[in-house]
């Protein structure tokens, strides 16, 4: 007898009027007839292709939007302290250990599929022994739930959490199926259906919105060898039809219980992540460039994509950043095959299941390099009336490599100082020079030092291009960035200087390593050195230097001081 006829006969024997009052569900909503998953009391995908079976979830390929895979009870834990489903999760506790064999769950599994606008979830578990009837519960939590080392649980219930409870025996019979919703701080019963005929095989509620079955014969499974009758259980539920608005689950838990009563103590459990609604965001931080009125900031480009990893549409996609994005810099675009932004604008108002949307933006920072964190957010309903979904990603931003390009020039002249004391000859050397920045960023803490600064009578001062003094401290000043002319060519920015000193020794102009008393072959030389640092550097470096040599007796030269 087919499952359909069997269920029809059962309903007819119970109450013919139920057919009229409850109605007969259209096949499009029946979890056992959606061509998504085989509820056939085994794990083999037969025939191959759709619908899936648990072997597909174990090793692929499968068509599910989200699965837990086959979750092993690798670190066995049991509930303690009177933990019950009627309590919030803060009232649950656990310890390491195992339950009696018939209640000891070895593996648990779940898979979510879209069917039109409906969320369909298939679930299952296998136990250690078939010594009697067992009751199994399957929680679908909207919040992330995890175990703490101190025996408590992390996370709380949320309205819309769903619990499916069923009992089954080793003869292949499912006895009772109950569906609960967590609402306003407690469990609300949504559906209860009892197999009064005691028939083996697939058993469903009247509308086929929730179904379950257990194996009535030995079956081979790739993760656990052979399972004897009653050791394997599987079911399916149409979440959307039974609990409209629920479905954005984050965690899955299979439990064993002492009975189908909501006040029964829960025993063994297997817990795993189950992000039915979710998103991921990627992030690249690149292209640093100087910014700000004084080129003392760095502007970065950020880009990436947001992917809807869940079963249904997400709405109102937003991207925020830390540090904050530059005003009006964020744009959304379609993505190419590599997940990078194209030039085609995209609307972030909706993002379908499995779809991507790319973003490009910028931020400006006073830090060179470092990290940057992006957060993508969305909602399961338009206008923010559903559940919030988000993800974050941190990227390392490259440091902007600033390499200075400085020109240092210097010229000098040596002459007799006028008005000197009779019988004494006093020589003075005057010099002029410039330091010019050829790059499009400023130089900081610039220091101009002439080698003769320690000589008596030395003077060194900042001047303009005509030689007139200006109020610039040559020991610590900022040399501005080069500027663009009308032809878009960088024009260096220069600071001029001049000074004079009294030389203490004459050098041989043909060999400056030697001194001389021959006026015709005497020369004087010294070096100007410029140090400073590029923006964001921690230490100053030598930017350049220039040696200047002037002869004592230069034919036809004037003894007027040199000018820039």
Mean of pLDDT values over 75-91: 92
Give me the pLDDT at residue 546, please: 94
385: three-class secondary structure by DSSP: coil
Q: Is 80 exceeded by the pLDDT of residue 387?
A: no
> Tokens 């195992």 label which residue?
98
Is the pLDDT confidence value at 26 over 50?
Answer: no
Q: What is the pLDDT of residue 358?
A: 98
Q: Is residue 221 over pLDDT 90?
A: yes
Those residues whose C-beta lies under 8 Å from the C-beta of residue 196, and which sit 6 or more positions away, are: 10, 13, 14
Q: Can you read off the two tokens belonging to residue 352?
A: 């379908």
Cα separation, 547 vs 562, in Å, equals: 16
Beta bridge partners of residue 484, listed in sequence order:
490
Q: Is the pLDDT of residue 44 over 90?
A: yes
pTM equals 0.60
Which has more pLDDT, 535 or 246?
535
Question: Is the confidence at residue 12, as pLDDT, over 80?
Answer: no
- In the chain the domains, ranked by start, together with CATH numbers, are 28-273 (no CATH), 279-396 (2.60.40), 406-551 (2.60.40)
Average pLDDT for residues 255-284, to the nearest whole number? 90
Mean pLDDT of 317-341: 96
List, for residues 85-120, the tens digit of each pLDDT value. Answer: 999 999 999 999 888 888 899 999 999 998 887 899
pLDDT per residue as tens digits for the range 338-376: 999 999 999 999 998 789 999 999 999 999 999 999 999
**For residue 462, pLDDT beyond 90:** yes
Neighbours of 557 (CB within 10 A): 12
Poorest-pLDDT segment among 4-18, 56-70, 152-166, 385-399:
4-18
Examine the pLDDT at 421 and tell me if it is beyond 70.
Answer: no
- pLDDT for 504-527, tens place per residue? 777 777 777 777 777 778 788 888
The strand ranges marked E within 53-117 are 66-72, 77-80, 93-96, 105-115
Please state, rounded to an integer, the average pLDDT across all residues of the chain: 86
d(CA 216, CA 229): 5
Measured between alpha carbons, how far is residue 285 from residues 327, 401, 414, 418 in Å?
A: 17, 15, 57, 65
The pLDDT-based confidence of 16 (bands split at 50, 70, 90) is very low
């Amino acid at each position: 007898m087919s499952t359909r006829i069997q269920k029809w006969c059962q309903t007819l024997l119970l109450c013919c009027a139920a057919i009229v009052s409850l109605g007969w569900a259209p096949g499009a909503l029946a979890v056992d007839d959606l061509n998504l998953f085989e509820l056939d009391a085994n794990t083999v995908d037969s025939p191959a292709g759709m619908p899936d079976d648990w072997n597909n979830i174990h090793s692929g390929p499968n068509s599910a939007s989200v699965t837990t895979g086959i979750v092993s009870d690798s670190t066995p834990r049991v509930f303690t302290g009177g933990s019950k489903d009627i309590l919030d999760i803060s009232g649950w506790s656990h310890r390491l250990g195992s339950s009696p064999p018939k209640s000891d769950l070895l593996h648990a599994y779940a898979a979510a599929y879209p069917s039109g606008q409906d969320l369909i979830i298939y679930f299952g578990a296998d136990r250690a022994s078939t010594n009697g009837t067992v009751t199994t519960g399957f929680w679908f939590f909207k919040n992330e739930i995890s175990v703490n080392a101190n025996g408590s649980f992390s996370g709380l219930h949320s309205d819309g959490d769903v619990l499916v409870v069923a009992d089954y025996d080793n003869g292949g019979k499912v006895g009772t199926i109950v569906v609960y919703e967590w609402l306003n701080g407690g469990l609300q019963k949504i559906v209860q259906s009892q197999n009064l005929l005691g028939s083996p095989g697939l058993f469903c509620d009247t509308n086929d919105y929730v179904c379950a079955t257990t194996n009535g014969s030995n079956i081979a499974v790739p993760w656990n060898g052979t399972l004897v009758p009653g050791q394997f259980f599987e079911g399916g539920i149409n979440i959307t039809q039974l609990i409209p608005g629920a479905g954005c689950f984050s965690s899955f838990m299979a439990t064993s219980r002492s009975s189908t009563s909501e006040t029964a103590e829960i025993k063994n459990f297997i817990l795993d992540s189950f992000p039915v609604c979710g998103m991921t965001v990627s992030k690249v931080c690149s292209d640093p460039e100087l910014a700000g009125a004084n080129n003392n900031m760095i502007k970065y480009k950020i880009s990436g994509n947001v992917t809807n990893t869940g079963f249904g549409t997400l709405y109102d996609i937003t991207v925020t950043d830390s540090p904050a994005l530059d005003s009006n810099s964020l744009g959304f675009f379609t993505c190419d095959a590599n997940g990078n932004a194209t030039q085609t604008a995209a609307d972030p108002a909706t993002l379908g299941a499995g779809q991507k949307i790319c973003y490009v933006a910028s931020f400006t920072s006073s830090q060179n390099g470092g990290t940057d964190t992006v957060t993508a957010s969305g909602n399961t309903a338009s206008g923010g009336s559903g559940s919030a979904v988000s993800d974050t990603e941190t990227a390392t931003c490259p440091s902007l490599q600033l390499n200075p390009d400085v020109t240092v020039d210097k010229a000098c002249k040596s002459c007799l100082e006028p008005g000197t004391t009779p019988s004494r000859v006093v020589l003075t050397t005057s010099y002029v020079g410039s330091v010019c920045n050829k790059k499009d960023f400023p130089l900081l803490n610039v220091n101009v030092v002439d080698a003769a600064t320690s000589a008596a009578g030395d003077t060194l001062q900042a001047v303009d291009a005509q030689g007139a003094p200006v109020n610039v401290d040559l020991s610590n000043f900022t040399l501005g960035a080069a500027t663009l002319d009308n032809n878009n060519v960088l024009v260096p920015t220069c600071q001029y200087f001049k000074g004079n000193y009294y030389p203490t020794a004459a050098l041989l102009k043909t060999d400056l390593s030697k001194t001389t008393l021959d006026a015709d072959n005497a020369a004087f030389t010294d070096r100007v050195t410029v140090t400073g640092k590029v923006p964001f550097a921690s230490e100053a470096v030598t930017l350049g230097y220039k040696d200047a040599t002037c002869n004592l007796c230069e034919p036809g030269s004037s003894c007027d001081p040199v000018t820039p």
